[in-house]
A and B are shown apart, each in its own frame.
Chain A
Amino acid sequence: MVGVELAYWAESLLRVLGGLVAVLLPAGTVVYLFLFKMMSFMQSRLGPMEAGPYGSLQLFAEVGKWLQKEDIVPTNAQPEARIFKIAPLVVLASTFLLVAVVPFGPDAWFTDFDGGIFYALAVSSVSVLGILIAGWSSANKYSLLGGLRAAGQLIAYELPMVLAVIGVVIQAGTMNLQKIVVAQNAGEIFGWDGLGNPFLLTQFVGFLIFMIAVQAELTQTPFDMPIAESELVSGYMTEYSGFRFLIFFIGEFATAGVFSMIASVLFLGGWGVPFAWFGWTAIDDVDNWMNVVGPLILFTKMIIVVFFVMWVRFSYPRFREDQLQRFAWKVLIPISLANIMVTAVLKVAF
């Protein structure tokens, strides 16, 4: 549909730049809007106000501060210094791999293939490896405990997340994220197509489970045992300083943004508007301007989803480790299994 032909190198460059924007922009927005401002307002204070108007340039100040700091490798970690140094990059790499499948518009995507959501859920677990080797190679008991907790938690909550997504996959009949978006926006509710058919309505249970699992995957409070600062200093990040800590930090909030994008793609209709508004029926009818508006719509939906993630984060106290595991295995997984069965039965019935 897009009439622009680019050389391979130009296209690749665009993809790399687009990937950087798609990872760093949500991370910056999430940190400024929610971590700096919303958290402060919820605690009846104003947050950073000095750097730029309303502290809007605070992020650059923070990044500059971290870049100036020394990159320390603890003496005990020296034998595995290379692994110690590579761990934050592994975590950030999983974020970049994750954003690759998110569709931003009818033609604005990095990759578009049929295993989309399967791939996304698979590469999101790569960050566990980064966290584990960070915890292990730090040669620090707090880091090790934090890494182990993170591994246990991420594996436990990977399962309800996958199971919650299966409901969506059954309903959409595809694992391709682009087709899931189309299925929602071209859908109709009992013959009325003014709203499309966002899976939020039919898969509400799945959405709740998915968001709870995302909260745990992102190690945001109430599931922040891996970095529980009152018990484990800073968990697997304890020994990191300077730009490696910065990379962990960016990775955490960029993943929050990307997971929220995936949540809005799966449950809120992604980049699309209900196709009936403009008389479209399939993806080939969608006008070219959606390639510009689509990312904005997706970004707005991401902001709304992150708002809820952060709202919960700033409101609830931390779970205990055993409560966390019990909640995942005894509550979330049975409910999501039931959700799959009900969805499958209804899918066959209708």
Chain B
Amino acid sequence: MPKPKVPGLLKGLGVTFSTLVRTATDGAATVQYPHEKETPPIRARGVIALHEGNCTSCMLCSRSCPDWCIYIEGHKELAPPRRAGGAPRKVNKLDRFDIDYALCMYCGICVEVCPFDALFWSPEYEYSEPRIADLLHDKSKLGEWMETVPEAPDLEVGADKKGKK
């Protein structure tokens, strides 16, 4: 025998009341933020970190940024040759690498487009500032975020076989 059908109106009241009881006994689904913190997922888009050594100031990130919030300045320097007697190497020296988080919309195109693995997502999110100008993070501050970048998760099985060996 099928169960008697509960009218939808009563069912609706039941839903809200059971949620009320559940919140009172098991606690809310929300987090009381400043007092208790939520751990964001490992791939959360919190802040962009810069690995300065990898950057060649190729400007790809800056050019692909939809709201032009990455500022790069650099110059070429001569470095001692790798082998004795060789010609001196030309290396890029990064003078300035700023990301203006007041403009950034966290699209992640810069991280995607970087061919040298110089930019990384970090799940860190607590960097609000009383003054909007302080949201411009320079390269030393962006470098500090590198410490918070989590280890890349393992690839799925079979994923590394793709591409050229």
Which A residues contact B (CB, under 8 angstroms)?
A: 38, 40-46, 49, 311-312, 314-316
Contacts and interface: CB of A to CB of B under 8 A. Distances in A.
Interface stretch (B11-19, B86-94, B95-103, B137-145): B11-19
B21 to A, nearest CB: 8
Nearest to B15: A315
Contacts of A44: 19, 22-23, 28-30
Given A46-B30, A46-B32, A49-B32, A41 B20 contact: yes
Interface in B16-53: 16-17, 19-20, 22-24, 28-30, 32
Interface residues of B, number: 15
B155 interface: no
B157 interface: no
B23 A315 contact: no
B9 A41 contact: no
Contacts of A45: 23, 28-30
Nearest to A38: B20
6 contacts: A42-B16, A42-B19, A44-B30, A45-B28, A46-B23, A315-B16
Nearest to A316: B12
A46 to B, nearest CB: 5
Nearest to B9: A316
A315 B30 contact: no
Nearest to B23: A41
Contacts of B19: 41-44
Contacts of B13: 311-312, 315
B12 A41 contact: no
A40 B23 CA distance: 9
Contacts of B16: 42, 311, 314-315
Given A41-B28, A315-B12, 16 more contacts: A38-B20, A41-B19, A41-B20, A42-B16, A42-B20, A42-B23, A44-B22, A44-B23, A45-B28, A46-B28, A46-B30, A49-B32, A311-B16, A312-B13, A314-B16, A315-B13
Contacts of B32: 46, 49
A200 to B, nearest CB: 19
A206 to B, nearest CB: 20
Nearest to A313: B16
Contacts of B9: 316
Nearest to B32: A49
A315 B29 CA distance: 18
Contacts of B28: 40-41, 44-46
Contacts of B30: 44-46
A301 to B, nearest CB: 20
A42 B21 CA distance: 8
B102 to A, nearest CB: 27
A49 B30 CA distance: 12
A44 B27 CA distance: 8
B24 A41 contact: yes
A308 to B, nearest CB: 9
A43 B22 CA distance: 10
A314 B19 CA distance: 12
Contacts of B24: 41
B16 to A, nearest CB: 4
B86 to A, nearest CB: 66
